[in-house]
């Protein structure tokens, strides 16, 4: 952890920055400054993810982060594609949810081919699917707030990132716990 990048200070800076952006800045302030703050928060969040896995489980395994980041990025890509191709709002949610769930299942099956059978269980599938459901709920909340006049895009993005950060931590914990269980089971079968 060179210069404490990815450490406790970085994780606390993410939470503090999100709270500051969401509650202590007004939409009429400098929008470029607010957007720059949001980008900085997201970079710090990415830097602190590896530390959180190491802190919770005591080991640093790059495979967890690969599965985690790709599995978390798939629903965003699927919702983006659904938003670009859907003609009605209802189709965005159905298309995004269905394609996200299918993409996550296919990703976990592909990851199990490369990393072993530890990614095929319901321990990984349920948190990823819960993440997809949380994306749908948070997206609907943002649209409802926009319909009712809250057009502060940066604040909505910060609140969405705060909610997504909590859900992504749950996915990381479930994935890391399953891999730890798989390693212990593999060691027992060798003995």
User: What is the pLDDT at residue 4?
Assistant: 54
Q: pLDDT-based confidence at 56, cuts 50/70/90?
A: low
CB within 8 Å of 64: residues ≥ 6 apart:
53, 172, 175, 176, 179
Residue 28 has pLDDT above 50, yes or no: yes
The reported pTM is 0.62
Of residues 81 and 26, more confidence is placed in 81
Q: pLDDT-based confidence at 1, cuts 50/70/90?
A: very low
49 with 103: CB under 8 angstroms? Answer: no
User: What is the pLDDT at residue 57?
Assistant: 60
User: What is the pLDDT at residue 141?
Assistant: 81
d(CA 38, CA 65): 22
Mean pLDDT to the nearest integer, 102-116: 80
- For the stretch 113-136, pLDDT in tens is 877 666 666 666 777 777 777 777
Place of tokens 């919770």: 56
d(CA 142, CA 190): 51
Least confident of 9-18, 48-57, 126-135, 162-171: 48-57
What percent of the chain clears pLDDT 70, i.e. is strictly above it?
80
Domain extents for the chain? 2-190
């Amino acid at each position: 952890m060179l210069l404490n990048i990815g450490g406790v200070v970085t994780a606390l800076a993410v939470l503090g920055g999100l709270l500051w952006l969401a509650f202590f800045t007004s939409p009429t302030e400098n929008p470029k400054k607010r957007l720059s703050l949001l980008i900085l928060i997201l970079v710090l969040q990415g830097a602190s993810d590896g530390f959180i896995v190491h802190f919770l489980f005591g080991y640093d395994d790059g495979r967890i982060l690969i599965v985690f980041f790709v599995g978390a990025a798939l629903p965003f890509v699927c919702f983006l594609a659904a938003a670009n191709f859907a003609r009605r709002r209802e189709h965005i949610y159905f298309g995004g949810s269905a394609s996200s769930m299918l993409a996550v299942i296919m990703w976990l099956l592909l990851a199990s081919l490369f990393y072993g059978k530890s990614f095929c269980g319901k321990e990984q599938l349920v948190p990823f699917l819960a993440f997809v459901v949380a994306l749908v709920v948070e997206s609907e909340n943002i649209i409802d707030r926009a319909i009712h006049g809250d057009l502060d895009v940066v604040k909505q993005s910060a609140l969405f990132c705060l909610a997504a950060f909590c859900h992504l931590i749950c996915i990381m914990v479930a994935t890391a716990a399953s891999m730890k269980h798989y390693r212990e089971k593999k060691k027992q079968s060798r003995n």
